[in-house]
Amino acid sequence: MPDRSPASPVRRAAVVLVAVAVTIALVRAFLLQSFVVPTGSMEPTVEIGDRVVVSRLSSLFGDVQRGDVVVFNGAGVFDDTDPGPDTLLGRVGRGVAALFSMPVGSHDYVKRVIGLPGDHVVCCDDQGRITVNDEPLDETYVADGDRPSEVAFDIVVPDDRLWVMGDHRSDSADSRAYLGSPGGGTVPLDRVVGKVAGIYWPLSRFGGLDDGSGR
């Protein structure tokens, strides 16, 4: 006989709620995540307290482009912490945490991709511009009053790695700060969480990001 006890509808509702929560967590873990930006290293493009949506599709399908703003796990790259294995449970946990737009750990960084694998990235030419493969970058996104870089560098980005920088160049600990580290400050592609698709909060800043392409 069917269970007609008063608790049955409650149990069914609980099962539905759990299924919805797991689905949302999986979507966020594998497709979308939400982050609160805790520092000013990407100002004025992304400001302290901005809530951003991060698409994981670019990292899943290897479609990271120069000019993209990405979130990546810098453990063991920008600090000395062992990142540990990238497990399904870990990704789901990040998704659940991101459900509430909380900063996920102290090892997640938001920076702009300046150099792709194989790129020759140099600072600076005689006009003070960063060049990539001998072509100067028109960096419209750099914070007012900042130079493209106060630190000179000349690097060929290794295979499967990225050279990244913050838009607030005078207040960003990015690839330049780790030139003497293994990898020369570059970030492994497999550490990229995803591309920042845009800002959704506060509403006054709602919209996409300048990728420097003029589009």
Task: Quickly tell me which residue has 């689905």 as its tokens.
Answer: 23
Structural contact between residues 72 and 49, judged by C-beta atoms closer than 8 angstroms = no
111 given a catalytic annotation = yes
Q: Which candidate in 34, 41, 58, 175 is catalytic?
A: 41
Of 210, 182, 164, 201, the C-alpha closest to 71 is 164
Query: Does the annotation count 195 as an active-site position?
Result: no
Contact call for residues 98 and 27 (beta carbons, < 8 A): no
The beta strand positions in the chain, using DSSP E, are 32-36, 51-55, 69-73, 108-115, 120-123, 131-132, 135-136, 153-156, 161-165, 187-188, 192-201
CB 56 within 8 A of CB 194: yes
- Give the active site residue among 111, 149, 172, 195: 111
**Residues that are catalytic:** 41, 111
